[in-house]
């Protein structure tokens, strides 16, 4: 049934409701949190229990795993909300306008708008997220806060998975897909991404052990 599993809002049903985009954003934040937690768990697991870390007792590693895994998830979730909220609002507005005036399905418009959405993501990343983390960095950070070609490519890589998920979720809201299938597949990919990121981070530490 179209829109099955979605929150009912008066005047907003199926793919015509802005609530779909709010839900999509919240799912993105949860999925990013899952990837961050899995990445942290994987890194500690590989460094301390698979490879072996002579500089840290396994008891301490277990404590770090219990403490830092949820913390990394929360940080990833907060970063996702700060990064994707404005781009998500832009995608929602564009899809509504084209659906109303051109009859274009929302999920198609969201995908076609990706290059423009990435510009907004670039500003969110390099004028808000990166400066925030630079402030917390001991050396003050050194990442260029500018709309450069390199930064845009990075923002495009960050935004593309979020846009694909938003488009799929929009399709689920209109009955073309089932929302549980979309979220389930995205959750699986988030776990894979977390394992890959954690493995990469761990491999960088092996040379020091």
Question: Is the residue at 41 inside a domain?
Answer: yes
Task: Return the closest-CA partner of residue 124 out of 149, 96, 154, 97.
Answer: 154
Calculate Rg over the CA atoms of the chain: 19
> Domain containing 156: what range?
17-206
Report the interhelical angle of 19-44 vs 149-173 (nearest 10°). 120
pLDDT, tens digit, for every residue of 43-85? 999 998 988 888 888 888 899 999 999 999 999 999 999 999 9
Residue 3, pLDDT score: 43
Cα pseudo-dihedral 53, 58, 61, 65, rounded to 10 = 130
Question: Is the residue at 5 inside a domain?
Answer: no
Question: Is the residue at 25 inside a domain?
Answer: yes
Of the ranges 8-17, 57-66, 141-150, 158-167, the best mean pLDDT one:
158-167
- Mean pLDDT, range 2-23, rounded to an integer: 54
Residue 199, pLDDT score: 95
Task: Return the closest-CA partner of residue 12 out of 174, 135, 209.
Answer: 174
Residue 143, pLDDT score: 55
Of the ranges 148-157, 183-192, 196-205, the best mean pLDDT one:
183-192
Which range among 2-6, 151-155, 167-171 shows the weakest confidence by mean pLDDT? 2-6
What's the pTM?
A: 0.82
The DSSP annotation for 19-58 comes to: HHHHHHHHHHHHHHHHHHHHHHHHHHIIIIIIII-TTS-H
**Counted domains in the chain:** 1
- pLDDT for residue 106 is more than 50: yes
Average pLDDT, the chain: 84
DSSP state of 9: B
Q: For residues 182 and 168, is the Cβ–Cβ distance under 8 A?
A: yes
Q: For residues 46 and 204, is the Cβ–Cβ distance under 8 A?
A: no
Residue 64, pLDDT score: 92
Q: For residues 27 and 169, is the Cβ–Cβ distance under 8 A?
A: yes
């Amino acid at each position: 049934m179209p829109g099955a599993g979605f929150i009912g809002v008066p005047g907003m049903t199926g793919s015509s409701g802005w609530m779909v985009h709010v839900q999509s954003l919240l799912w993105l934040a949860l999925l990013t949190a899952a990837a961050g937690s899995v990445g942290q768990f994987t890194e500690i697991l590989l460094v301390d229990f698979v490879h072996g870390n002579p500089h840290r007792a396994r008891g301490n590693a277990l404590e770090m795993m219990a403490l830092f895994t949820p913390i990394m998830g929360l940080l990833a979730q907060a970063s996702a909300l700060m990064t994707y909220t404005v781009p998500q609002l832009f995608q929602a507005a564009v899809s509504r306008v084209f659906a109303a005036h051109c009859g274009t399905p929302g999920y198609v418009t969201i995908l076609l708008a990706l290059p423009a959405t990435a510009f907004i993501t670039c500003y969110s990343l390099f004028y808000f997220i990166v400066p925030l983390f630079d402030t917390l960095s001991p050396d003050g950070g050194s990442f260029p806060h500018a709309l450069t070609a390199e930064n845009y490519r990075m923002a495009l890589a960050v935004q593309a998975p979020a846009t694909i998920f938003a488009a799929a979720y929009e399709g689920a809201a209109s009955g073309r897909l089932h929302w549980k299938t979309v979220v389930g597949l995205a959750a699986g990919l988030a776990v894979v991404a977390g394992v890959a990121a954690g493995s990469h981070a761990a491999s960088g530490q092996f040379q020091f052990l």
